[in-house]
Amino acid sequence: MENSPLDSTSEMDAAYQRTLWLRRELHRHNHLYHVLDNPEISDAEYDRMMQELLSLENTYPQFQSADSPTARVGSSMLDAFESTQHSLPMLSLDNAFSEQDIIEFDSRVKKYLQIQSDIVYTAEPKLDGLAVELVYEEGKLTMASTRGDGLTGEVITANIRTIRSVPLLLHADAAPARLEVRGEVFIEKKGFQRLNHMRMMENQPLFANPRNAAAGSLRQLDASVTASRPLVMNIYGVGYLSEFITHSHWDMLCRLKSMGFKINPLIRPHLNLHQVLDFYRELGENRSQLPYEIDGMVIKVDDLRLQESLGIKSRSPRWAIAWKFPAIQATTRVISIDVQVGRTGVLTPVAILEPVSVGGVTVSRATLHNEEEVERKDIRISDTVFVERAGDVIPKVVKVVTEKRTGNEIPFQMPTTCPACGSLVNRLRLEASDVSEVAVRCVNTRCPAQLKENIRHFASKTAFDIDGLGSRLADQLVESGLLKSYADIFQLTAEQLEQLDRMGKKSAKNLVAAISKCRQIPFNRFLYGLGIRHVGENTADILARKWGNLDTLMNQPVEALADIAGIGPVIAESIYSFFQNSGNRDVVQRMLEDGVQILSMPLSETETGNIFNGKSLVLTGTLHHFTRTQAKKLIESAGGKVSGSISRSTAYLVAGDAPGSKLEAARKLGIDIIDESRLLELIGVSAPDDSSTLQ
Ligand code: 9MJ
């Protein structure tokens, strides 16, 4: 409304001029306080000006504007987040864990660019929050979105508007007509502690760490909740720009700073490799004193033209790398050891710890995995222990400080009955080439703890992906008796759901709609969702592609299942017995009757021709994407076998770097020689982002 003609009284004209002045001043003081940490006026003065502006906007609603500082209170209320496609993909970073990894990164950059001289880097603290993109059109914030899968994110504009360090209007007239910037939204350590303290007072569940708190705060449909959270945003890069700005990353950050964005003050430009290594040490030493959490350092090639030449591989840039800090340790005391019951009935001991800050995050529990682990580490109740947290990984107990033992420590004993349902437990060691586990398991198939976990798994993103059905609701649905198996999900009605605590009419309707939307499901995700023991996403995928549909799979003899590469006898037995069980067959049948439609998958044999069926391949030289074992598994999954030496019966030689004498032998015999990428092409898979993805 700022440009609307004002025709009436001079009083209104004066009020409008005053409104504009207050907005300008409040934006300026907001920037001084939240971006530059350099306030000029007191909080009381700021509040007084804000009150005056609010009152003017109330009296003259026609003055209201989305860019007003008053808009930061977050009044909008959404039903759901819309999604949006990023103009340019939002990349994730490759990780480095050692100086050697960084030296190799530098060599790769030079080799790729064919440059011998030093590369100029900019190094940045790696903030541990959520990546967000902001879009400015003609200097006004028009959209903000989460990173999502890198290509498509969720629109969270109303929530982002509430963050004081995000400018709603840009300072410089020089800002391009369209400017996309990217950065990290996070919560400082102090803000996190205050937030959790407040939640404790209100009997609300606590956030595990600042990152979770930031994520939870951004995922609010009611922006006024977000407004009450101490979120901060630092900008570290750009997306699409409608006009050229500069050739240097550091210079870009300086320009963004002058437009009003908050740029991390610890960013160091103009570093050579050695200076990068020094800065990492310095940052590591000072990290615990910083007001926010960092989990490493990001190193970027500064020259944007070189960045462009380096380009990206899969989803990460070749011009940047994240160098993670090692895990942080602390000591604390084990108060007790609880036992949790998982999806398959497995009992897991969990250490309840005296709360301790591990690198700024309060840790009060840590999984002990299984009975053997407790015995191996000899963890007793009342022991003093070292706990460790690496990045956002779940904290773990590293070892006992035995010197602190007093003799009053109590050894842990696994219960003989299930803590959730009281049934007797079964102690079993399973050993095979592909799976080995010691498991204490509740064998009651109606155990409520198992059912809750099963439902959570069934509804999870990689299975049925039922929006809104998370852990808390799964618990409620089981406790209220509405669900006795996951098949009951498809019979839930909005009327039944409305009876649950904290479930409004609208949410109930939304959940029924979300369930309905999930009735059509690809065969692999359906199989994964069933929660068959040992059937993870990968196995579900292999099975779905091998047998194509449920009927065929359900009727396979155990030998046929065990015969598939990547399955093995224990997994085969587990699948076989699952489908032999009449209860499980009933559950599946009921879902089909309730309209679940399983979309069949292309069979792997028809898709790739099981390209190496009965063929023998030989590997030589260094492979880049795989270890030898991984490559062998891959070849076997395409029907081939790997042999150690070249003979006339060799179908292909897969040659990596520095291939050695096998290459010559293969040439002499006229054997097909292929490289790693051709191998992947023949099998019909793409290279993994990172060799650790194929085990
Ligand atoms: C963080 N998390 O602090 C990047 N990041 O750059 C910084 N993340 C990044 N840069 C390109 N400082 C992709 C991600």
Q: Is 214 in the pocket of ligand 1 (CB under 6 A)?
A: no
Is the pLDDT score of 691 beyond 60? no
- Report how far residue 124's alpha carbon sits from residue 639's, in angstroms, rounded to the nearest whole number: 47
- Is 126 an annotated catalytic residue? yes
- Report how far residue 385's alpha carbon sits from residue 401's, in angstroms, rounded to the nearest whole number: 5
Least confident of 411-420, 460-469, 563-572, 581-590: 563-572
User: Which one has a higher pLDDT value, 112 or 640?
Assistant: 112
Quickly count: other Cβ atoms within 10 Å of residue 473's Cβ. Answer: 21
Tokens, residue 555: 């009727």
Q: Is 128 in the pocket of ligand 1 (CB under 6 A)?
A: no
Tell how far the Cα of 579 is from the centroid of ligand 1, in angstroms.
Answer: 47
Mean pLDDT of 265-291: 93
Q: Is 237 in the pocket of ligand 1 (CB under 6 A)?
A: yes
CATH superfamily of the 11-64 domain: Helix hairpin bin (1.10.287.610)
Angle CA 219–220–221, to nearest 5 = 120
Q: What is the pLDDT of residue 264?
A: 97
Is the pLDDT score of 366 beyond 60? yes
- Report how far residue 334's alpha carbon sits from residue 75's, in angstroms, rounded to the nearest whole number: 45
- Report how far residue 681's alpha carbon sits from residue 672's, in angstroms, rounded to the nearest whole number: 15
Q: How confident is the model at residue 39 (pLDDT cuts 50, 70, 90)?
A: confident
Mean pLDDT of 299-327: 93
Q: 606-693 maps to which CATH number?
A: 3.40.50.10190
Q: How confident is the model at residue 604 (pLDDT cuts 50, 70, 90)?
A: low
Q: How confident is the model at residue 80 (pLDDT cuts 50, 70, 90)?
A: confident
Same fold yes or no, 448-518 and 522-599:
yes
Is the pLDDT score of 88 beyond 70? yes
Helix crossing, 189-201 with 210-218: angle to 10°?
Answer: 70
Question: Is 329-411 CATH 3.30.1330.30?
Answer: no
Q: Whose CA is nearest to atom 5 of ligand 1?
A: 126
Q: Is 236 in the pocket of ligand 1 (CB under 6 A)?
A: yes
Pick the atom of ligand 1 nearest to 131's CA.
2
CATH for 95-324, among 3.40.50.300, 3.40.50.11540, 3.30.470.30, 2.170.150.70?
A: 3.30.470.30
Q: How confident is the model at residue 187 (pLDDT cuts 50, 70, 90)?
A: very high
Q: 522-599 maps to which CATH number?
A: 1.10.150.20
Q: How confident is the model at residue 640 (pLDDT cuts 50, 70, 90)?
A: confident
Tell how far the Cα of 688 is from the centroid of ligand 1, in angstroms.
Answer: 22
The number of angstroms, rounded, from the C-alpha of 181 to the middle of its chain's C-alpha atoms is 21
Q: What is the pLDDT of residue 404?
A: 94
Q: How confident is the model at residue 120 (pLDDT cuts 50, 70, 90)?
A: very high
Q: How confident is the model at residue 583 (pLDDT cuts 50, 70, 90)?
A: confident
Least confident of 260-264, 532-536, 613-617, 691-695: 691-695
Domain residues of the chain, as ranges?
A: 11-64, 95-324, 329-411, 448-518, 522-599, 606-693
* CATH architecture of the domain with range 448-518: Orthogonal Bundle (1.10)
Q: Is the dihedral of CA 388, 390, 395, 397 positive or negative?
A: negative
Most confident segment among 87-101, 187-201, 650-664: 87-101
Q: 421-447 pLDDT, tens per residue?
A: 999 888 876 553 233 456 788 888 789
Mean per-residue pLDDT of the chain: 87
Mean pLDDT of 185-208: 79
Tokens, residue 162: 């509430």
Q: How confident is the model at residue 195 (pLDDT cuts 50, 70, 90)?
A: confident
Q: How confident is the model at residue 606 (pLDDT cuts 50, 70, 90)?
A: very low
Alpha-carbon Rg of the chain, whole angstroms? 29
Catalytic-labelled residue, pool 110, 111, 126, 506: 126
Q: What is the pLDDT of residue 433?
A: 29
- Report how far residue 477's alpha carbon sits from residue 481's, in angstroms, rounded to the nearest whole number: 6
User: Which one has a higher pLDDT value, 375 or 198?
Assistant: 375
